[in-house]
Amino acid sequence: MNIAAAVNENFANYSNYLIRSAMFVYVLAFLAHLAEWVFGGRSKVAVQSAALAGEEAAAAPAVTVQVIRRDGGTTTLERPKVVTRASSSDRGIADGPGAAGDSERGDLYGRIAVSFTVVAWLLHFGGVIMRAASVQRAPWGNMYEFSTTFGMVAVGAYLVLLALGKNVRWIGLFLTTSVLLDLGLALSVLYTSSEQLVPALHSYWLWIHVSCAIISGAVFYLAAVGTMLYLFRDHYEVAVTAGRAQDGRWGDIMRRLPAAATLDKFAYRMNALVFPLWTFTIIAGAIWAQAAWGHYWEWDPKETWSFITWVAYAGYLHARATAGWKGRKAAYLALIAFACFLFNYYGVNIFVTGKHSYAGV
């Protein structure tokens, strides 16, 4: 790679225009998702249909079968009643399809929001690519570039889940909100002009190590959103089960979230899926450190907090797998782990000086 390569200012300006354009379209997606949540309540027809279906199931007659025995007699067998554990819907707590509920209007707003999100992501992706082209290197050499790429990967992961048929549209409102905050902070506080990096960062490990960190963080973020919504939904389900039904707009919103068990499972699967990649991220960083500094590990603040984050997520996964921790205790562990990741990125980079400080903000 040519370390002395000149910066292409035109590409750098195109990148800034594309990122700002993406923010504008993300705002439209945010407004559409907001309309989905506000105006997309469950339709009366769907509620009445569910009630009628329950009445018909309760009134269904028992099935009897007569068996002719060899001695000429008959025996009447009655199909035993199938007993299943009460689900959320059995307690009046629907495991709904997401923000849109069963409302056609809400579903329309949701589809519009996803369409805007796709357009915004394409602009966002173009901005990241133009930034890379302007300096002819990986576009994550400082906090501004890391932040813009992080938001792009988070939205991309969300769109991939939708493309795979996963019912995750309930993430959309929270994702567009956080991406707007992420890009706003990147442009206003963390912005760094396109420039070449110090020689130590000119390595193929920049492509490998940092890209893995970005992907891991993006998936950890999606899991954290699921965890936080799980805590709200679980509180709502406990209130309904105890007879303290929550009416009004808040109750309507909670009813349109997936069931607490579904949110808990989603968060666990996301964290478990990406944890091996985070492990590889730390290993790759150690290998790069040996090449750049002569030592695999020196307890640099960034290294230390990466390891603390790894321990926190390992503790969460171990507790889920062996100690049987599920529900709120596991959710708190997962949020602590994600807080460690955030501090590793923002806190260490801004407030702590170490060997990683040469990357700047």
Span 168-196, pLDDT tens digits: 999 999 999 999 999 999 999 888 887 77
Residue 151 located in a structural domain: yes
Q: How many structural domains is the chain composed of? A: 1
Helix (H, G, I), strand (E, B) or coil at 75: strand
Token pair 């990241």 in the structure block, residue: 128
Q: What is the pTM of this model?
A: 0.80
The parts of the chain modelled with pLDDT lower than 70 are 1-5, 41-102, 198-201, 245-249, 352-361
Nearest to 172 by CA among 223, 232, 113: 113
Would you say 352 and 301 are in contact if contact means Cβ atoms under 8 Å apart? yes
Residue 70 located in a structural domain: yes
Residue 4 located in a structural domain: no
Residue 3 located in a structural domain: no
Residue 243 located in a structural domain: yes
Q: What is the pLDDT of residue 158?
A: 96
Q: What is the pLDDT of residue 97?
A: 55
DSSP secondary structure of 127-183: HHHHHHHHHTS-S-SSHHHHHHHHHHHHHHHHHHHHHTT---GGGHHHHHHHHHHHH
Cα 173 to chain centroid, rounded? 11
Strands 64-68 and 74-78: antiparallel
Q: What is the pLDDT of residue 227?
A: 95
Measured distance CA(56)–CA(58) in Å, rounded: 5
Q: What is the pLDDT of residue 163?
A: 93
Q: What is the pLDDT of residue 49?
A: 37
Residue 57 located in a structural domain: no
What are the C-alpha distances in Å from 311 to residues 232, 308, 341? Answer: 26, 5, 11
Residue 44 located in a structural domain: yes
∠ CA(184), CA(195), CA(3), 5° rounding?
145
What tokens does 98 get? 């997401």
Structural domain harbouring 146: 9-52+62-359
Nearest to 146 by CA among 181, 113, 109, 192: 192
Residue 1 located in a structural domain: no
